[in-house]
Amino acid sequence: MQNKNSVLVVGVNARPIVSSLKLLGLDIYAVDYWGDIDLREKVKDLFVIKENEDYFAKLGDEGASFADKLYIFAEKMIDQHPEISKIYIGSGLDDRPDLWKKLSNKREIIGNKPNNIKYIRDRFNVYSLLEDLEINAPRTVIIRKEKDLKNFCLKVGFPVVIRSNVSSGGGREIYKINSKNEIKKTWRSLSSNKKIDEIIAQEFIEGLDISVTSLNNKKDVHIISVNEQLIGMKEAGAPYPFAYCGNIIPANLSKKVIKKVKKNSKQLLEKLNLHGINGMDLKIDGNDLYFMEINPRFPGTIEIIEMMTQTNIIDIHNRAYNGEIVPISIPEKKFGIKIIPYSKNTMNMKKLDDSSNYYYDIPMENEIIEKNDPILTIQIIGNNRKNIIKKAFKIIENLYLF
């Protein structure tokens, strides 16, 4: 029998959602990739994909996509714990509305509807809504042959970005082509991946990577924050050029520009019928604002926003899902940074300083961290932007001395 206090969290990193739910006194079950210490201590049961890869090998399905693995273990968790009554979804299923629908047939998803996910994640659908707004779209085409890619590059000029039309998560398998000489090699690298059905080429937009965190109740939209995105940071050991390394909140933009971003983002989001907390990625180049993509689920900013606003983000999400917008905002002269350092080499995780409250997503002691994998997450809030950034970088330096 379903219990209203029993919920399931599904995502690449379920911990931030779980942490917020735990404060509401719920019984939590989770499907997660990493299985970090500070997740394990908060859940009643947990499937860790990283520890269960042999399950797919036994099925003869080593090639299962990451989204499929999330779904399979979510289904198993529901079967084993029929008391689960609701599902909260993090990253990993953005481009699989079919799996979203299957999950929604099993339990209520407190978030967006499958049909809406399908519409929103087709970037060409969103592009069609930009005409009346002060938001541009990078020139984008579907590529089926190397010749098509070459023609597009010659048309728009270098650099060009080429990627799967389905998100690989965290910026993986996104390639930047800087010259004609790189076309053939880049095309072969991406087109040889059998998991990729459709490839797109996109005009590369210079400028600052930003995101918007929004609160939506299908009809109304409240912009919680405009955030700077940390992409491909060498200081954080980013293993590839477009690797997601975190955020700084708020973005270091003038009040005039922030106002413009909020206004235009709100106008676009009002057309999309979203539910709860969502994220949207943008780029700003001078006075020009460019739409990149919608993340129709909890974005990576939720925990740092929760810390800065001293609210429970899941409570805010639930209330929006049920129709009530609680207009939380980032306090004046308050800053937050989230940064994810990646391992530069295979490393053995040592015991961390227990007195530090900046560490999140903490691996188990002596766990092997593979090269290019995230080590943990650092989150700091304060009253001085430069100081929190400096402190975060100092912590990263010390981690690399392990």
Which pLDDT score is estimated for 178?
A: 96
Token representation of residue 258: 């922030």
Q: In what order do the strands lie in the sheet with 27-32?
A: 45-48, 27-32, 6-10, 86-89, 108-109
Secondary structure of residue 193 in the 3-state scheme: coil
Per-residue model confidence (pLDDT) at position 267: 97
Residues 313, 320: Cα–Cα separation, whole Å: 11
Rounded distance between C-alpha atoms, residue 213 and residue 299, angstroms = 7
Each residue's pLDDT expressed in tens, for the chain with a length of 402 residues: 899 999 999 999 999 999 999 999 999 999 999 999 999 999 999 999 999 888 777 665 656 788 999 999 999 999 999 999 999 999 999 999 999 999 999 999 999 999 999 999 999 999 999 988 999 999 999 999 999 999 999 999 999 999 987 765 666 779 999 999 999 999 988 887 766 778 999 999 999 999 999 999 988 999 999 999 999 999 999 999 999 999 999 999 999 999 999 999 999 999 999 999 999 999 999 889 999 999 999 999 999 999 999 999 999 999 999 999 999 999 999 999 999 999 999 999 998 876 679 999 999 999 999 999 999 999 999 999 999 999 999 999 999 876
H/E element, 276? strand 275-285
Q: With contact defined as beta carbons under 8 Å apart, do 231 and 245 qualify?
A: yes
- Structure-token pair, residue 214: 């929004």
Distances (CA, A) of 358 to 72, 91, 162, 342, 378: 33, 23, 36, 16, 5
Q: Where are the alpha helices (DSSP H) in 96-254?
A: 97-106, 114-120, 123-127, 146-156, 183-191
Kindly report the pTM of this predicted structure.
0.95
pLDDT of residue 378: 98
Residue-range domains of the chain with CATH: 6-110 (3.40.50.20), 139-203 (3.30.1490.20), 208-399 (3.30.470.20)
DSSP class per residue in 130-159: -TTTT-B---EEEE-SHHHHHHHHHHH-S-
What pairing do the DSSP bridges indicate for beta strands 359-360 and 347-348?
Answer: unpaired
Give me the pLDDT at residue 385, please: 98
